[in-house]
Structure formats: structure tokens, C-alpha cells
Amino acid sequence: MTTSPLPPVSVTATGASPAGTRLAVADDLLGLLRTTTTEPRPDEQLEALTLAVAADLPVLLWGEPGIGKTAALTQLAASLGLPLTTVIASVHEPSDFAGLPVVGDDPEVRGVPMAPPQWAVELVRAGRGLLFLDELSTATPAVQAALLRVVLERRVGALRLPAGVRIVAAANPRASAADGWELSPPLANRFVHLHWVHEPDVVVRGLGGVWPRATLPRLAPERLPEAVAFARRAVCGFLEVRPTLIHRLPGTEARRGGAWPSPRSWEAALTLLAFGTAAAVSREVLALLVRGAVGDGPGLELLAHLDRMDLPDPESLLADPAAADLPERGDLRQAALEAVVAAVGARPERQRWEAAWAVLVRALETGAPDLLVAPATTLATLRRDDWEVPRAVERLTEVIGLARRADRSVERATAPRPGRVAGAGAGR
């Protein structure tokens, strides 16, 4: 058996082979492709993620594979100036998070310490960083159990992570995860769950080299006490009305692996509400955060409660109808008018009844008239026999009458005609 000698390698004048030169040019091309910039751009899910990270709450990003979760975390860490430590949860053993036992010279007296892994030691040495736990839904139940102390107590073995370390995880839905598991309820309840989706325009502009920039929210120092007071009043007031939502474990395994209400998650919602108020975030961002903490149903109920908190005091409206400042949104405006009528019904007096009509006139001057039909009809039924009809009613009569006739016209137009089968004549 003989072997053929290797062909000679030609070397350029600089000592580099032609193949090496070609690879260097390829590296230059790759460098150009990987060079991107960022720009300030409205992005609700990125703003929600950044606010939750600022609030020092563990965040779990749910999304299909390839949706850009890892890229978003890399860009977030770079923009915040935090070193990124990525740990693939599914390829680790429970001891990698709980710590490896190290037997010393005198274990009966000194005990057996749990040695932390290298990544945890490096985070402590840096004093700050972004710990990214990837592929959480493919980690076995034993690994998920070991992660409980990491996420909640910030402990890895005998080592405590410094306060400057933030935790973000990512997971794929079980249907699209390789050998996926549902998250255990104790672990799921420790996260703020954000569902990561791709925005076509963001992807297109990002592939063109410009991605949205993640920036920490601007918290107004003068608003901090007010924000905390508002958040406590909102959450506590809501749970007083809906005590059954303080703790409600979902009935299905899949829903237990997401956001659901518990005292722990309500505390997270309160924190997010305070941060969102201090940062003056949009309603959409606040909705993502609150629903991600306590679930869709309880979160939407809390948001509706916040709307009711913003309604003007009906007694203030009755005291000065001419200066009544009514909400712009139609549903909130109608709720405010109905609250005024309810206040008169609770304490019916002639002056209060006449003031309520004046509030309705104010609403007519500043908004849509169709919202007045229901409260005006109810207010009319509260009249006592010895109460004269105020002149303000005359301004409302024509408008309300037109609105009623319009409603009846719509009903007649949509009602099936006698002797005609619905859909008859189609195709003529």
C-alpha cells in the first residue's frame, strides 16, 4: 500500500496561500453582512421587555423558532451595556444550577458545599450582566426544578448572583419545540410572559441593516411616589372587588405553564404598573406587561378597573356641570354619564336631578349624541311629580328623538320582511 504525496502549496510573496487569501476576503464579506446599526423606533414588545428588565423581574419570551428572540436579547444586552451570559437550559444537568457537592477534609463539621458552575462565578465577578436562559421549554422537569432557586432567589449552588444581574429566558411552544415539556407551574409563575412575534416592517428594515434600539425607560423622579401609590391603590382595590382572582391555578397543564394569578404574580403586576406609570408608557405596553404577569383574563379585568379609576367623580360633575370634563373615549364617556345618573338615583333630589340634565347637555356639546340615549332615558324615570322639567331637556329631546328614530330605522331595515325567506333573490 502506497500513499500519494500531498500536492505542493503555493505561497504568495506575503507568505499567505491563495486559499487563505480567499478566506480572508470571505471573512471581510461576512463582516460587512454582520455590520448593522440601530435606531430609535416604536416597538411595543421591545419596550415591554426593556421595562420588565428595568423592574428586575424575570421575563420569559415565548415564540416560534427563528423569530428573533436570541437576537433581541443580544441587542438588548449591548444597548444596556450589560455582558450577556447565555445558558442553554436543555443541555444542562440539575447539578449545573443546584451546584456540585464538593467534599472537604471535615464534612461532618464543615458540611458539603455546593460548587457553582463557571458561568455563575463569572457573573459574580462582573457584578452585573444579563443571564439568558435559552430553550427553557425543552429542559427536563428535573432541570426546571433546579432553576427555581436561580430565578426566584438568584442562587446558583452556594453562590448568590449580585443585584446587577437581570434574568431573561426564552422558550418555544411545545408544539414547535424539540422534545418539549410544559413548564412546571411553580417555575412558570415566577416569570413575566411575553409572546414574541415578528413585525414585517421591522424584519425588512433590520435585514436592510437597521434594527430598533432598546433603551431603558425614562422614569420621572418626581412621579415615583405617585406611581407607587397609584399601583397599590389600583391592584388592592381591584382584588378587594375580585378576591377569587388572588390565586387561581388553571385547570389545564398547558395554561399552568403560562401566566396565571397568584400573590406572587400580583406583586409583579403591581411593580410593572408602578414602573409603567412612572415611565408614562402607552396603554398597549402596559397591557402586554400586566397580562404577561397574571394572565389574559385577570389582566384585562385589571385594565378595565384602571379605566374606571380614571373616570371623573360623579359628585364633582354634579357640583359644577358647566365645567364637566368628560372622557374622550366613547365607552368611558358613557360610563361617566351612567355614574352621574346612578348617583342621582342613590340620592334623588331636585337640584341634583336638574344638575344631571346639565351634565348631559355638556356631553352633547362636547361629544357624540348617541351616547346620551340610555342615561337620559334612565334619568327621566327618576323625575318626581312635583319636579318641573328643566329647560335643558328641550335641547336633548330633539337629538335623543333623532337617535331613537335612527335606531328603529336600522332595525326595520335589517328585519326580514313578511313572506320573504332570508337570502331569497340572491344570485338574480
At the fourth CATH level, which superfamily is domain 39-103+110-212? P-loop containing nucleotide triphosphate hydrolases (3.40.50.300)
Q: Which band of pLDDT confidence, cut at 50, 70 and 90, is reported for residue 423?
A: very low
229-255: pLDDT as tens digits: 999 999 999 999 899 999 999 988 889
Contact 139, 181 (CB under 8 A): yes
Q: What is the DSSP letter of 139?
A: S
150-191: pLDDT as tens digits: 998 888 887 899 989 999 999 888 766 556 688 889 999 999
Contact 39, 201 (CB under 8 A): no
Q: Report strand pairing: 100-101 vs 37-39.
A: unpaired
Q: Which band of pLDDT confidence, cut at 50, 70 and 90, is reported for residue 26?
A: very high
Contact 294, 259 (CB under 8 A): yes
Domain-wise residue ranges, the chain: 39-103+110-212, 221-309, 314-413
Q: How many CA atoms lie within 13 A of 250 on its CB side?
A: 20
- Helix boundaries (H) for 181-313: 185-188, 200-207, 224-241, 253-256, 263-279, 283-294, 296-309
∠359-360-363 over CA atoms, to 5°? 90
As a whole number of angstroms, the distance between CA 404 and CA 400 comes to 6
Identify the weakest region by mean pLDDT among 212-221, 258-267, 286-295, 391-400.
Answer: 391-400
Contact 75, 208 (CB under 8 A): no
pLDDT at position 186 is 92
Q: How many CA atoms lie within 13 A of 372 on its CB side?
A: 27
270-285: pLDDT as tens digits: 999 999 999 999 999 9
Residue-by-residue DSSP string for 181-213: -PPPHHHHTTSEEEE----HHHHHHHHTTEEEP
